[in-house]
Structure 1
Amino acid sequence: MWERFDEPLTLTDIADTAILSKFYFSRVFRTLTGTSPSRFLAAVRLCMAKKLLLETTVSVTDISIMVGYNSLGTFTSRFTRSVGVPPARFRLMCQLGMSATPSALRPGNPAAHRGSVHGEVYVPESPHPIRIYVAAFKESIPEGQPKSCDILEGPGSYRLIGLPDGQWSVRVAVVPKRAVASGPMVRQPLFIGAAQKPVVISGGKAVEADIMTRPPGNLDIPILLALPELDGWQPLEAALPIRSSEVTASVVPGA
């Protein structure tokens, strides 16, 4: 999928590469990844679209074709639903070095009769300063707006509040706080993690779930949120010190 995302792949095509029937392949694939082959392929395509938006000047229309979509409207709607912003705005936000902490990524509302998840996040040693995002999603794929999110500046305790009764997928992304390149680009998180099994909230109670993180691999579902591209990156002008004598005006981009 990572190599042929631009092709009109069918489940039979993919299963044939593993020399398995499509029915058995689907069961094995879901066991290993937590989702179906078709949803994983869609996530790969959108992940590659993020890369093309940031690392090329190709138009949104051409990018939609390059990642396997025949309809610009379908591509735009799926990208917006999964990443949180339309493709063109995502590109602009990254170029401007805009923050990745909108209200959608702040901790949830502690509404009455709703439950919570808490625990510890464990992270391997890293030479980079890090920021940790812990979020609860209704689906296994980390896309769209999380129901609740906690943001940590290092390993330690997290708490997700305001979760309605039901089953939730709790996922962790550990991203570098500073840019690791000279411009905005798609960067894999340093580490990822998830609760060992879906968290079940019942009766508004609190549930404990510790999470170990590890480097990502090819079988891990791509993170489709506007992270880590919108976290830790600043345009060169913002990173350089400015002498007071050089300041003549200040311009703040509109929201």
Structure 2
Amino acid sequence: MFSINKWKLVYLIIGVIGVFVLAYFEITGRFQYPIIILYALLFFILTIYLHRAEKNKIMKLQLIYIHDLEPLIYLSEYEKYNKRRLRSKTFKTLDKINSVVILIDAGEIEEAHRLLMELTEEEPEFGIFLRFWFYNAWIHYFDQIDDLPRMKVLLEEIKKLLPLFPLKQKPKMYANYEMISVKVGIREGKDLEAAENYLTYILRGHLPKITVLKCIYQLGIIAHKKGAQQTAKNRFLAVIANGKNLNITRKAKAYLEKIEPSISEENSQ
């Protein structure tokens, strides 16, 4: 799985050719050895600079989504950026899978489903890594349409994949599985206390804004299901105040409308 900026690839090809040309001239006595060393050093420094510039560009794009909370703008800008890159088939597929979750975050559920159906045709070719995230994307979709049985089936399928990952990838994939499992458990209303403790622990870390809001939203659902409606209200209000036009913001408003009457009734007693 790889991707590279087209201009960077051209630069690397020209740079490598230049090294061989200079080496030839040095062998034939036309250039002095220090010139080749200087050229190689400059080539190395410029390569590092371009690599860092590429990483900074990607991070700047990601901030549109994870911090500015503008998923559709991010997808648009990322698509423009990808036109300047060469990507492997696996990388393109992973981008499409990620787009499903981002579209759901934007509330574009039908478009997310359309992409999922396209990906379903490609699924037989998926390795364990793509399959893991593909199933996760479907879980996100089924969560939107209240299809808990299918969420649980896919969670079990993800669990079956975990032993197949290379040893160095297992800790991260198990951690990802745990987060997905908590999401499914909350939907089911199962082990809510453990889920609340887990999300509270997660929030102690340095997380992107969108992840923080998703955790608070899930904590709001937990409080609602546990009957702590005032706590649920406070959590949903936090999402509404900070979540712009995210899908979870709209859903938090719907929950708020649902629980307000019971809170008013409790306060009047």
Give the alignment's TM-score, normalised by structure 2: 0.31
Larger Rg: 2
Larger strand proportion, structure 1 or 2? 1
